[in-house]
Amino acid sequence: MAHAPAAIPFDLEETQPAALARLLAEHDLKPNMAVELVEQAAERRRDIPTEDALAWAYYRAGRLDEAAAAIQHALRDELSVAD
């Protein structure tokens, strides 16, 4: 008996480069690619998850000053969870 796939609560067509960048950075995979992806995402979206992914990517790429600046920006009150 075939099972129907579960409903997915988001649009699969919408690309999520910050999420992919965070995955790559958290697992220390292709840190330079992670930086490139999340920098592109940050051009369009400056929210807490994107800034957090940016900080992780910079950290894994050894760009510690930029990582510190990104995490400080993510911790600011004026950012929202989803702008």
Q: Region 28-57: what's the mean pLDDT?
A: 88
Element (H, E) at 33: helix 31-44
Predicted local confidence at residue 22, as pLDDT: 81
As a whole number of angstroms, the distance between CA 73 and CA 9 comes to 29
Instruction: Match 């840190």 to its residue by tokens.
Output: 31
Predicted local confidence at residue 68, as pLDDT: 94
Q: What are the structural domains of the chain?
A: 17-74 (1.25.40)
Predicted local confidence at residue 81, as pLDDT: 54
The Cβ of residue 12 has, within 10 Å, a number of other Cβ atoms equal to 7
Average pLDDT, the chain: 79
- Give the distance from CA 53 to its chain's centroid: 3
Which is higher by pLDDT, 15 or 64?
A: 64
pTM for this model (two decimals) = 0.71
What is the CB-side half-sphere exposure of residue 14 using CA atoms within 13 A?
A: 8
